[in-house]
Amino acid sequence: MLDKQSGTELLQSIREGSLDAFNELYQQYVPLVMHIALKIVNDRMEAEEVCHDVFLEILRKCQHYDSSRGSLDAWIAVIARSRSKDYLRRKQRRADVVPIGQEVTAVEAEITPEAVALTKLDRELVREALAELPMSQQKAIYAAYYSEKTHKEMASDWKVPLGTVKSWLRYGIGNLRKQLERKGLHEAKERKDAYDQQT
């Protein structure tokens, strides 16, 4: 459990691979991101999808944040506005090519502390943990986090109900977290630090 930290302190901890820090940053900033997204997309469910995109981008770009160029709040707000507008453009493009009446809303994979493990921790450790999951959960996680497919796309590709895909992901992510915790989340960071020192 982390003591109360500022956003910039949490971001630094995320850079070092802390899952707790990402979870705390999410709790602190999801109200701001939701407020911005909801104002732009004007739909709560779609705003939640935008939130997923925003926090994924924060993970991908946390190394690039420079406090001398602006506050963390402003940096996150810019990302939120940009992703919200991207979402509307993407939705419009799909509406232009999909027959009327067909649902086109993309449901992105949930961003959770476990998702951080997929992007921040040693890939070999994650592969080992994934290999111990049931095949249905493995393929759902690979499709969501590596192929970046939406829940709807997976359901269509595999000819299964949307709820089944969501269930595979939910249980798969939970089981993956247990596997990573058992193997030791710190192990990946230690190996990464050792590699960085050699390069």
pTM of the complete model: 0.49
Residue 114 and residue 55: Cα distance in Å, rounded?
A: 13
The model's pLDDT over 68-96, given as tens digits with 9 standing for 90+, comes to: 888 999 999 999 999 999 888 877 765 55
């982390």: which residue's tokens?
A: 2
pLDDT of residue 82: 93
CB-side neighbour CA atoms (13 Å) of 130:
22
Where in the chain are the domains? 1-106, 107-199
Residue 16 and residue 121: Cα distance in Å, rounded?
A: 10
Closest CA to 176 of 122, 110, 115: 115
Closest CA to 2 of 20, 28, 18: 20
Q: Which fold has domain 107-199?
A: Arc Repressor Mutant, subunit A (1.10.10)
What CATH code would you report for 1-106? 1.10.1740.10
